[in-house]
Amino acid sequence: MTDRPSTPIPPAATPFDQVDQAIATLVSRKQVWAQTSIADRIVYLRECVNGVMTVAASWAIAANIAKGIDPNSSLAGEDWLTGPVATLLTLQGLIKTLEAEGQLKPPAIAPRPDGQVVAQVFPDNWLDRLMWLGFQGEVWIEPDQPATQGKIYRQTLQPGAVSLVLGAGNVSAIAALDSLHKLFAENQVVLLKMNPVNAYAGEFLEKALQPLIQSGFLAIVYGGADLGQYLCQHPLIETIHITGSHHTHDAIVWGSTLKEQQQRKAAHNPILTKPITSELGCVTPILIVPGTWSAADIAFQARQVASMVAHNASFNCVAAKVVITASGWHQQDEFLHHLHQSLAAIPPRKAYYPGAHDRYQAFLDQYPQAIALGTHTEGSIPWTVISNVPPDADEYALQTEAFCGVLAEVTLEANNAKDFLAKAVPFVNESIWGNLSCVLLIDPKTQRRDQTELDDAIAQLEYGAIGINVWTGMMFMLAGATWGAFPRNPLDDVCSGRGIVHNSYLFDHPQKTVLRAPFRIFPTPTWFADHKNLRQVAIRYAKLVANPSLDKFLSVILAALKG
């Protein structure tokens, strides 16, 4: 019997003098990076692919242990996917784009009837076409903008810059992907400050991305809020990207107290004047378009929505937070009943993210009708539904991201799909906080019958990531998808953030990404909480992405069929 791995030990905080030395090195190397050839950049990316594979198992196990997951369980595959696999997919996507001189031609690109350009970006190779049957991912370009790509690779003179990336604490690949975007899409060298919640992952990123670190183009440091504040105001840091809370963003940009923030916003006088981009969460709505669903349809979609809540213990910026149904849908009660059963069947997860219990209690204080489902263990938060939440713009559950396993249920007065879509789209755009992520579930017959209304709804949804019959968490994994809020947020009302990352096609003016999937996905999707063979799927998928071959593809499919 092997010993159970011990809880990862957080690295010591980096002394400020060492931080200054790291910044000085980046400053000295920023122009070198700006002038580094595409061929040399591809070499770095390929070396990083090998680097990720050398640490993949240790990286995933460390995340499992930190989150209270048995590293040998099926659920352990979750951190394989959201750590090593997501990083590998981005590395390979960037390689493919740079091999096309930064202007990789998408499989299809065409204007909509209103003139807005839409580019299909997924699937774009034989592997994904076979792996994700029936899926289609599109990047929508901002209206009245061209679908140009790879701006930094079209320009001859490139000014270098030093960027600070403030890493997220929930998903370990985020820090890596944000850093790679700054390097390869924006031409900026990176100082990455790990989040204290998952600072243990820094050890593996240092090894995986060692070629970039050794050449002085990337440095990784550790510390808390004091270091973050110091770095944001550091005179040699030129740009900033943060994934986290809008409260943290406003503390950085507008001041440490609410009073100071309000005064500075009123005076248009931010404390931070350097450029900052951000991804800051969302109260993600799930729109259930009324139709006629079979018993199997209801069971599948109940499992899917429950999994959107439970994935990563619900510590996801795209976790399902509000399920919206139509009052006139004859299967509304049946669907919600199955959804509750599906949530109750999911084992409790360790509430590893700081502040979760306080946030949960705040929801209980607001909603005494909240119902805890399933079992509850010490250190966990039960999956909890809040029924009959009024569809009012000032409602607490619609304006506050729970960042724990809470799901609100809202009913809109509507009798059919057309009526529901006409009311639901403006409701979520205007009355629910956030514009990062939205999911719409609609059966094939209703899609065909109301195709015009569905197309109009997708066009009108003001979200950066829109999933049609698929969780938007899947889009985080796709290198060609864009990741970020819908582009409308001013700095003084930042909402889900400003700017985008990922975007391996390097579109200069992306608006949003739309991912479409079959109504019933087969085999069991990798984000489903009850997947029976997720660890094996994820391990084999990592090997496939790192070095694609037909035998590795078949190995993944065989593992997936056991899910």
3-state secondary structure 543-556: HHHHCCCHHHHHHH
Phi, psi of 190 (to 5 degrees): -130, 130
Q: How far apart are CA 69 and CA 220, in angstroms?
A: 26
- On the question of pLDDT at 5 being above 80, the answer is no
Q: Is the pLDDT of residue 129 over 80?
A: yes
Extended strands (E) in 115-217: 117-122, 136-141, 162-166, 189-194
Q: Cβ distance 559 to 524 under 8 Å?
A: no
- Nearest in space to 360 (alpha carbons), one of 322, 424, 404: 404
Buried b (16+ CB within 10 A) or exposed e, 236-267: ebbbbbbbbbbebbbbbbbbeeeeebeebbee
**How is the chain split into domains, by residue range?**
16-104+156-244, 284-454
DSSP string, 412-464: E--SSHHHHHHHHHHHHHHHSS-SSEEEEE--HHHHHHTHHHHHHHHHH---S
**pTM, entire model:** 0.96
Mean pLDDT of 470-496: 97
Cis peptide before 523 (omega within 30 of 0): yes
**Helix, strand, coil abundance in the chain, percent, nearest 5:** 45, 15, 40
Which amino acid type is present at position 299?
A
Kindly state the percentage of the chain with pLDDT values over 90: 96
Identify the pLDDT of residue 2.
43
In this prediction, residue 6 carries a pLDDT of 67
- pLDDT score of 7: 74
pLDDT at 451 over 80: yes
pLDDT of 36 > 60? The answer is yes
Scan for tokens 């400050």, then name that residue: 193
Is residue 1 predicted with pLDDT exceeding 80?
A: no
Mean pLDDT of 374-387: 93
Q: Name residue 240's beta-bridge partners.
A: 164, 276
Question: pLDDT tens, 394-414?
Answer: 999 999 999 999 999 999 999
Residues 239-250 have a mean pLDDT of 96
Q: Is the dihedral of CA 315, 188, 494, 268 positive or negative?
A: positive
CA dist., res. 168 & res. 175, Å (int): 6
Category of 437 on φ-ψ map: left (φ > 0), alpha (ψ -120 to 50) or beta: beta
pLDDT given for residue 443 in this prediction: 98
- What is the Cα–Cα distance from 217 to 25, expressed in whole angstroms? 8
Q: What would the pLDDT profile of 314-359 be if each residue is shown by its tens digit?
A: 999 999 999 999 999 999 999 999 999 999 999 999 999 999 999 9
Burial class (CB in 10 A: 0-12, 13-18, 19+), 490: exposed
CATH (one of 3.30.70.2190, 3.30.379.10, 3.40.605.10, 3.40.50.2300) for 16-104+156-244: 3.40.605.10
Residue 253 CB partners (closer than 8 Å, separation 6+): 270, 271, 272, 276, 491, 494
Instruction: Of 85-89, 156-160, 280-284, give the lowest mean pLDDT range.
Output: 156-160
How far is it, in rounded angstroms, from Cα 552 to Cα 374? 38
CATH number, span 284-454: 3.40.309.10
Specify the DSSP element, H or E, that contains 383: strand 383-386
Cis amide bond preceding 106, omega within 30: no
Integer Cα distance of 73 and 532 in angstroms:
9
